[in-house]
Structure 1
Amino acid sequence: MKNQLSSALAVLLLIGGTAAATAQTVVIAPEQETVIREYVRKEPLASIKLPGVELNVGSTVPETVELHEINSPDISYRYVVVDDRTVLVDPGTRQIVRVLD
């Protein structure tokens, strides 16, 4: 019985870990990335510094940072330029979903 519980717990942890990793993976089609890059080039923003925030997928951008809309109906993410890198952010969670160089 104890082995069955341990096995069941291990499976649940594995499934939960996989779900968490999947939740952070955002796929942006090459066409969307092209639209984003062109828009950012045409509508340049001043680069800002975010001390204490790592530019990693899943990191949260502070509420004090203004997120900018990308004028495209196919793209629901917002962006900000941090350390001369374009950072795509989920406006609902303020989590970084992609960092473009």
Structure 2
Amino acid sequence: MRNLTAVAAGILLLAGIGAAAADTVIIQPEQDTVIREYVKKQPLASLKLPGVELNLGTALPDTVELHEIPNIKYRYTVIDNRTVVVDPETHKIIKVYD
């Protein structure tokens, strides 16, 4: 019975890890280059968002204006002088550039 419980717990743990990995967005090197070049050419005024930590997966408030990057599905903004790339569907941060 203990073995069955341990196996079930292991499966649930692995399922949780798989679900978390599925949420991870990976920006391909080509996209990274396009993003870096574009945001340099299109600087934005930096926003202050007290209480919002610039961590991967943090959802930005819907009130934050996100700006397009041509031919890239993601959007960007600048917060605390850091460029933040965001998934426009979830408003979650997927990349932070210093």
TM above 0.5:
yes
Structure 1 segments of 4+ aligned residues over 4 angstroms from their partners? none
CA distance in 1, matches of 2:23, 2:61: 18
State the partner residue of 2:90: 93
Structure 2: segments with no counterpart, 5+ residues:
none
1:23-54 CA distance string (max 9 Å, x none):
34222122211110111111111010111111
CA distance in 2, matches of 1:100, 1:20: 26
Contact 1:48 1:83 in 2 (8 A): yes
Q: How does 1:40-79 map to 2 (within 5 A)?
A: 40-72=39-71, 75-79=72-76
CA distance in 2, matches of 1:9, 1:61: 36
What TM-score does the superposition give when structure 1 sets the normalisation length? Answer: 0.86
Task: Say which structure is richer in strand.
Answer: 2
Give the total of aligned pairs: 98
CA distance in 1, matches of 2:11, 2:53: 30
Contact 1:36 1:70 in 2 (8 A): yes
Question: Cα RMSD (Å) of the superposition?
Answer: 1.5
Letter in 1 for 2:16: G
1:55-75 CA distance string (max 9 Å, x none):
011100001100111012xx2
Structure 1: segments with no counterpart, 5+ residues:
none
Deviation at 1:2, TM superposition (A): 4.9
Deviation at 1:12, TM superposition (A): 2.8
CA distance in 2, matches of 1:49, 1:16: 37
